[in-house]
Structure 1
């Protein structure tokens, strides 16, 4: 490619008629023309300003066309992909099916595979197109509600491990350990090398562990706690969570579907709303398994770690522990923290935390808004056992189900997630975020 030369992009946007097959064909042809132009350009990191402008024009035009197509057809195509909502497809499977059935709508498997080899800043941003699709599905009350239910079902891996867990009471996963102790299932985060920061592996393991805790009839209460870590400053100490692994984000290893959307629609929502065990229509209480959850916060709960606390029924923290949502500093959206924090802290403090990065120390008046009990480190075990006994009462699960219904109706959750899918994926590829994670990586090479 000659410097400062770029192929022209002058293809007219498709005119959609409202007929699904015709519009799908028009979108596929338009997207293919755009891909031809992108193929004629160097890799993103090697483009000159003129080539970058052409690529941006192509990507913007194709995304505008995708939004227009989905605004007309999202419910019809969702019905096609799910056999009129009789099949419950997890989000990655649904998007893969859409790529195959509707070429040009979402990235193909080959396009996503090519992205995996690049750091975040050098990717084409194919996940933005996945975000457009997810947002459209979630905006539909019909399709979005069905997708939420699909993501609330037990994972295949959990179902495979369930018999062994019921028999032994222990399952060791790569990044998490689940152990049954009396009435409780204790889930320990074991990402020791990175202060129990969240990465794709931990998210997958936590969903499996949460499923097991909810499926096992011998378990009445779930407990979340961070394990001991390797960091020199905290070696030998327990840490609850350092939030998202920023090194992985910089390296392009935080997937949009499995991580950014999967954690919200998956294990966190299962802890909050329950595990869907019966897809048949009926009362939500007959279709789901709900149990109370306890969080034991050692050292700190940052970012996603603090977000977890907002759906738990009892939070016990060490006296020296602190909580924070450093979203403004990192440039991304703190999951559902913006939706849930206000009802615990009030609007003013929530803005100070989310927009200003204010830390909340557990042993303060502000900390008491988020922590039910603050204890000395040596008293943590006794506090957990006491909380398990109190929350094992038969009426607890029924009442926390009704509290969830009152606090966060499903439609509020769905509408928030629809906007989150759009905003978060754009933030993940925004220049300020990419620059911040690169500076941090260059400075320390560590997660935080």
Structure 2
């Protein structure tokens, strides 16, 4: 695969699909893939023709995790520097200005499950394997811990990262780790349907909603309410702000 891109991108209307593309190695988060993925996501964040990003993997699964080949050959200092690049990707996705949806088939293990967790939503096929098995390899689960603390809670987080056990998609949905479980072969289809339903809304309203979530996550309850109120007022200042009332009396479009 020398010379081929590690990340592919295609457009479907207002939705961009980004594909991890090293299927023979099961799409590991190698340094090159991480750099290409980060660059692609940054470009899409600035592209006004894109409203939602769907992230998926080529071949038999989403992402098998860390690049074990590179881990075996890298010195501790090299590993630290390369992990810094993963932290950049982590922060980029966690604070991304547009909605992100992971479409997962086959497997999302270790760093691959981290990548899924950093997305806003996740659609997972019913036979996929999910888990955080780093502890079994003698290393701690690291950057996913703050994410899991904020998504599934402290006790569930401990069970996931200390046992390293594989979790079934149905259980992952039950604990709030993913959004939807779909039949085999349908993850990308359903993710695109979900993306299209989000993309039809005004991008300013979606962006400010994401901003409220990002900023208020670590605020006190009362601070969060005040911040959310202020951004709601800001949203009404745009030139094209309108509220259309449907026949049933509910707001149809803002």
**Are 1:243 and 2:65 matched, yes or no?**
yes
**Are 1:210 and 2:210 matched, yes or no?**
no
Whole-angstrom CA distance in 2 between matches of 1:365 and 1:297: 13
TM-fit CA distance, 1:368: 5.0
Contact 2:6 2:21 in 1 (8 A): yes
1:261 pairs with one of 78, 81, 84: 84
Whole-angstrom CA distance in 2 between matches of 1:195 and 1:253: 23
Provide the TM-score with structure 1 as the length reference. 0.45
Contact 1:178 1:188 in 2 (8 A): yes
Alpha-carbon spacing, 1:173–1:269, altered in 2? closer, same or farther (3 Å): farther
Partner of 1:334, secondary structure, is coil
Aligned to 1:174: 5
**Are 1:223 and 2:54 matched, yes or no?**
yes
1:190 pairs with one of 21, 27, 36: 21
Alignment of 1:254-293 (within 5 A): 255-264=78-87, 266-274=88-96, 290-293=97-100
Contact 2:126 2:183 in 1 (8 A): yes
**Are 1:400 and 2:231 matched, yes or no?**
no
Aligned to 2:159: 352
Contact 1:315 1:372 in 2 (8 A): yes
TM-fit CA distance, 1:203: 0.8
Larger radius of gyration: 1
Alpha-carbon spacing, 1:354–1:194, altered in 2? closer, same or farther (3 Å): same
Whole-angstrom CA distance in 1 between matches of 2:175 and 2:154: 16
| Between structures 1 and 2, the one with greater strand share | 2
TM-fit CA distance, 1:402: 1.2
Aligned length: 213
Alpha-carbon spacing, 1:397–1:253, altered in 2? closer, same or farther (3 Å): farther
Contact 1:307 1:337 in 2 (8 A): yes
- Looking at both structures, which has the greater relative contact order when contacts are Cα pairs under 8 Å and sequence separation is at least 6? 2
| Between structures 1 and 2, the one with greater helix share | 1
Aligned to 1:303: 110
Whole-angstrom CA distance in 2 between matches of 1:384 and 1:262: 27
CA-atom RMSD in angstroms? 2.1
Contact 2:56 2:188 in 1 (8 A): no
Alignment of 1:12-411 (within 5 A): 174-228=5-59, 237=60, 239-252=61-74, 255-264=78-87, 266-274=88-96, 290-364=97-171, 369-392=176-199, 393-394=201-202, 395-408=205-218
Residue range with higher mean Cα deviation, 327-336 or 359-368 = 359-368
Q: Which runs of 5+ in 2 are unaligned?
A: 220-254
TM-fit CA distance, 1:183: 0.7
Q: Which runs of 5+ in 1 are unaligned?
A: 1-171, 229-236, 275-289, 410-448
Whole-angstrom CA distance in 1 between matches of 2:146 and 2:112: 16
Whole-angstrom CA distance in 2 between matches of 1:210 and 1:361: 29
